[in-house]
Structures are given as structure tokens and as C-alpha cells.
Structure 1
Amino acid sequence: MDQWKKGKLTFTWLNGGVTHMDGGAMFGVVPKPLWSKKYAVNELNQIELRTEPILIQGLGKNILIDAGIGFGKLTDKQKRNYGVNEESSILSSLEECHLTPADIDLVLMTHLHFDHASGLTAKKQDTFVSVFENATIYVSEVEWKEMQHPNIRSKNTYWEENWQPIAHQVTTFQEKISPLEGITMIHTGGHSDGHCIIEIEEAGEKLYHLGDIMPTHAHKNPLWVLAYDDYPMTSIAAKEQWIKPHTWYVFYHDSVYRAVKWDEDYQIIDHVRRTRNVT
């Protein structure tokens, strides 16, 4: 696992699995000769997207950003379609941190698509149960409502087994909420109607996790939005507002970097590189 210490905070990326998604879909209308210079692509035109929850410690609570793709939930067909060759091993990752799932206090969900929310629950005999049984799970009100009542498009990614077992743990918000001093969740929309970002303040400096409006470092251009985005113009506006120079950004999906900082010309001036997991 990779760890990064920033002031009194420790960020640890847990092994939540991996997907390989179509590069064209991940970069929308951007031509492949452009985006393929920024992010590696395989012979199937897929790009590697980690699904690795971020454990934050140092504020008196064990905080998790998103939950991974889970284990044993995907059919063989889904694994092929989503390029999954590695599922979550959150339990062993937490053990390395001398923690159990019961020790997680807060789970901050940027949104509830299957590749972020499947790790919230696990199959136990003939039913599904909450993985982080003692945690308060924060998600925007808009996202939570759509999770429960998906439309013809979103029902493919909002699954009952990912929300029903944790409904009693969920706290929703509208525009913004601060679950803990120094951490703020802000509703942006864009990728999904209820998508939110996370602002972290440490020693007077602000760090950001922009969820899937900037899933990788290669998506920093405001116009490079996903074909998966429900409201791409909203994503563009959010990126213009929240992507700033000389500011740290941490990633859930990026296969190259854990965190990046750019200058005024958006050249990388500092970074935390991802190391290969041994599986």
C-alpha cells in the first residue's frame, strides 16, 4: 500500500480493486492521439483505473473516501465488460494498518456508482450486510435519492445490494457539509447529478479530491470530460472552479499518481507516485 504524510494527516490507499475502461469513453470527444499521450492504453483500447479507497488518519477519526468495487459481487460478464482482473482486498489492507472495518468512523462517498460503492456491502450467506458497520456514511441527498430510484440509464450502476444494507448509516446533505473539522464535502453534480468533491484543510493549506470530475491527472483540462458524465457541461464548470495551480489533488482512480500539484501552466511541479501493488 502507498502512504503519504501531509502535516498531521496520513493518507493510505487501500486495495479496492481495479477496472479497465474504454479509453474513448473515459475521455469523451477528445481524439485518441491526444489523450493517449497523457495516459497509457492497452491493445483493447482500455485504460487502467484503480478503485482504491483513501484512508485518512490524523483528525481523531478513521475516515474513508469511497469504498472500492467489493469482492464476489461481479458476474463473469461484468468482470469482462469492466476489465476487472483484481477485486477488493480491503480487509487485508486494513489489517496492515492495524485496523478492522469496524474501526472506520466515517465514509465519505463522492457518488454511488458501482465502482465506488460496491465495497460498502458484502455477501453473507444469502443476504448482503454492511462492511463498515460502525461508520456514518455521508453522501449528497440528490445522489442518495437517485441510488434508491435510478432511471433507465443509471440503474446499470446503482444497485440495491449496495444501498439497502447501509441505509440506516447514511447521512445526507444538500450543498455542503463538514463531517469533521477540516473536511468539507461539496455538491458539484456533473459526473452524476449528486456527485460531490472533498476539500481537506491542513495547516492552512487546502487539498482536494475531485472524485470523477477529475478521475486521473490526465483529466485536468476542463474540456476533457467523460462520456459517462450525465451532465458534462456541469463537470466542465466544476473543473474550471476547482482545479487550481499550486494545490494538491489526490486520486482514487489514477494508475500513475496518488497526488499531484501543478503550476500556473499546469505542469506537474510535485507528485506522489503510485507504486505497483503485488497481487
Structure 2
Amino acid sequence: MAKKTYHNKNRDLDALFRDIETWFTEQGYQTQTNRTDGAWFLQAAKTEMWRKAVGASRAFNVLIQGQTNDFSVELSTGEWASNLAAGGIAAVLTGGATLLISGFTAGWSKKIESDLWNFIDQKVMFGEKAKSTQELVVMKTQSTLEEKLKQLKDAYEQGFIDEVAYNTKKLEMEAQMQASKQNANTEEKLIKLKGLLDAGILSQGEFEMKKAELMRESSNSELDAQISKLNAAVAAGVLTQEEYESKKAAIEKQSELAAKIKQLENARDAGIITHEEFEKKKLGLLV
């Protein structure tokens, strides 16, 4: 049995597993897989006719175990499991010496082993990185909204809602998707900024300045989303053009005020102005 352990690679193990399965499939192997928490198992074998012709009933086994930054990959040969999905990984791994034979002894398997290790090493080195918590949240949100958009389109095509209602709700959902992406992007950048501050690469003042810039960008994104909703309301006939202009101006004014107050807060937190100066300047903005 050949085994390699990888540390601090930050790899998406689901993606690595899919890549290995695709690698076998593209070379004409049939595959079967099973997954449990922290373990991915794959068997790959040529067709039954080919195996009988060469007198080999062996399958290649690939076992990945661990987490994104600390995982191992094992390669071996063993009997093709009759029902891997039902039997599970444990059934194969504990099935006795006839299931897992140490090393690759068959001549036809040696080159496959070498090529496969080269492929895995390349994927570990340059493959897809594990997704951050923020990325996973965005993916889940986007998936939910995309499903809702599909349901909305189906409702329109089946005549349950009219074109105006469809376009209105569609614009609202698209604005939500854009806002979700922007918020996650801002949070990711803030985490990186905090890391630079903790590492001493940025001073507190530099951190607060960069943070203020990010918050302004986020505020602009939220403003765009609110205006998109107003556009949808106008398209649906809920608002007149005059009402639209009035509400848009109020939203822009509120957004500008919030941005200025945030700048003052950052200046106060960075020690650029005192608490008393902050309160005085904030009061001047609110009057």
C-alpha cells in the first residue's frame, strides 16, 4: 500500500476526489465511490471482460482521509466490491487481506500508480483551494436565490403571475444576489485587513483608513440594491416617477450621512479625534 500525507495545503478534498474520479473515467475505467465524514473512497477498474482477459479481478483503491490542511491519500489494489454504496468504506477496508494487498504487484498497474501519483501531487499543489466560511455562505445563498428565480419563472410561464409581477420580483431577487456577493466580499477583505494589522504590517491608523474605504464600498452596494428595488416598484406601477425621485433622493441622503458618521467613528477609534470631538461633529451632521 502506498500512502502520502499532506500538511498545510488548504485543498478542497471534495474537488480533489472528483478530479481523481474524472482522471480514471477519462482513461476508460468504471468507478464507484463512497463518502463518509472525513473519508472519501473510490474504486476504479477496467471492464469485467478486460479483467477476465488478463486474469485480474483487481480494482484500484483510492482513499482520502482528513481535513483541508491535514490529509492523506492511500493507493492500493483490491477486489472490486459488489456493492460499495451499500457496504460502505469500512466494509472494504476491514474485509481481510484479500481486499487490500500491500503495494502494486501487477505489471499493468505500475505505470498507472506512477501517473496517478503525479496527477494527485499536481492537484494538491495547484488544485482548488478549500472554500472559506464566507464563500460557503454565499454559495448557499446564491443557490437558494437561483432556485427561487427558477420557481418564479415557472410560475410566470404557467400563468400564475403576470409579467409585471414577474419582472418586479426578478429585479428584487437579482439585487439580493448582488448584495450577498458584495457583503461576503467585504467581510473577506476585512478579515484579511485584520490579519495584516495583527501581523504588524498595517498600523492602527492605516487599518482604520482601509476599513473605512471598504465600508464605503459596501454602503454604495447597499445603495444600489435599494435603488434597484425602487426601479422594480416603478416598473410595477407601485410608484410614480415623482415618488421614485423623492424616495431615491432620501435614500441617497441617508446613505451619505451614514458614510460620514462611519468615517467619524473610524477617526475616533484610530485616535485621530477625541470622543468629545466625535460627538460634536456627529451632532453637526444630524442637525
TM-score, scaled relative to structure 2 = 0.18
Higher strand share: 1
Higher relative contact order (CA 8 A, sep 6+): 1
Higher helix share: 2
